[in-house]
């Protein structure tokens, strides 16, 4: 209710930045139950629109040096997004076996015919869009692919065999690890597809945005 809002002692300035007024004289206007909707609207506008306007203007200015903005009208919103931020995880053509097997490299202990490598490709081909994003974040550090899908990665995504541990440990006891700066996936030679799926699911969920598995 309005009394609870007033107990917060808010005024029409940007939270954390009292020098930025949300409206003229905002520092002397208290937030009440009657004007809280306006306050919330102005916080969103200032934070998400006005605060980034200089950066957007700079981006537009630099973009115009390469291509007139009006020319971009020949593309749909989705096509333009692909050009600027990369291919969507919704693009199934980049996640079928044909594309994956031709663009992902097997090296240093694996070949294109290695069972564990083909299990990996099968795993990738069966991912949902959300898990595709999780895998990309884990393996490359980015949530999308560049133009051309996996073929646009530079360097290409490369899968190598992780060194076998000393007995009595086995590869099944270890997690995959990555070097995101080089798109380099170090994959233990798991004994089955089920183990590979279990380990990669865990790595994708827990290893992205951290150096735990690098």
Based on the residue annotation, tell me whether 9 is a catalytic residue of this protein: no
For residue 30, which phi and psi values (nearest 5 degrees)? -80, 150
**With contact defined as beta carbons under 8 Å apart, do 14 and 43 qualify?**
yes
Give me 48's structure tokens: 């998400």
Q: Which residues contact 1 (CB under 8 A, 6 or more apart)?
A: 33
Among candidate residues 9, 116, 181, 209, the one labeled active-site is: 181
Q: Where are the beta strands (DSSP E) in 48-123?
A: 105-107
Which candidate, 193, 184, 127, 126, places its Cα nearest to that of 159? 184
Which candidate, 171, 185, 173, 183, places its Cα nearest to that of 213? 185
Catalytic site positions:
181
């Amino acid at each position: 209710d309005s009394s609870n809002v007033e107990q917060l002692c808010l005024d029409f300035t940007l939270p954390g930045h009292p020098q930025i007024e949300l409206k003229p004289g905002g520092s002397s206007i208290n937030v009440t139950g009657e004007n809280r909707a306006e306050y919330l609207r102005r916080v969103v506008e200032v934070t998400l629109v006005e605060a980034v306007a200089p950066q957007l203007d700079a981006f537009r200015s630099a973009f115009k040096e390469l291509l007139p903005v009006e020319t971009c009208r020949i593309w749909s919103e989705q096509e333009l997004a692909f050009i600027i931020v990369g291919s969507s995880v919704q693009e199934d053509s980049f996640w079928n076996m044909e594309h994956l097997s031709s663009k992902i490299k097997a090296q240093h202990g694996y070949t294109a015919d290695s069972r564990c490598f083909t299990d990996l490709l099968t795993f990738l081909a069966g991912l949902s869009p959300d898990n595709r994003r999780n895998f990309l974040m884990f393996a490359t550090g980015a949530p999308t692919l560049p133009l051309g899908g996996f073929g646009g990665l530079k360097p290409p995504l490369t899968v190598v065999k992780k060194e076998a541990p000393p007995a009595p440990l086995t590869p099944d006891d270890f997690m995959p690890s990555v070097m995101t700066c080089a798109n380099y996936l170090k994959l233990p030679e798991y004994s089955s597809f089920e183990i590979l799926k279990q380990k990669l699911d865990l790595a994708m969920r827990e290893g992205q945005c951290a150096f735990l598995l690098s």
